[in-house]
Amino acid sequence: MSNVKQDDSVWVADVDSIGKVAKTKAERREALDTCLDKFWSDENIGRIERVDKQSDHGWEMYRWQKG
């Protein structure tokens, strides 16, 4: 676990990464791989979390923060 700040995150919805809500493990992995390749490739990643709420589905990345 990193010492990331909770307010320094970047959110990518499934519909932005794969064009639909990821409903299976394989689709969630596809969305994550797309985020790592397309959206966060130049980021210093501290933590990645999956978010599945009633209206929000996607991945949230927190940048590494040096303490």
pLDDT at 49: 94
**Residue 4 belongs to a domain:** no
- Say if residue 6's pLDDT is above 70: no
Residue 1 lies in a domain: no
Query: Domain for residue 58, yes or no?
Result: yes
pLDDT at 63 over 60: yes
Query: Does 2 map to a domain?
Result: no
Closest CA to 17 of 57, 64, 46, 62: 57
In a domain? residue 57: yes
Residue 3 lies in a domain: no
Q: Quick one: pLDDT band at residue 64, thresholds 50, 70, 90? A: confident
pLDDT in tens, 22-56: 999 999 999 999 999 999 988 888 889 999 999 99
In a domain, 39, yes or no: yes
Q: Any residues with CB less than 8 A from the CB of 10 and at least 6 apart, and which?
A: 39, 40, 43, 60, 61, 63
Q: How many domains does the chain have?
A: 1
Domain, as residue range, for 36: 9-63
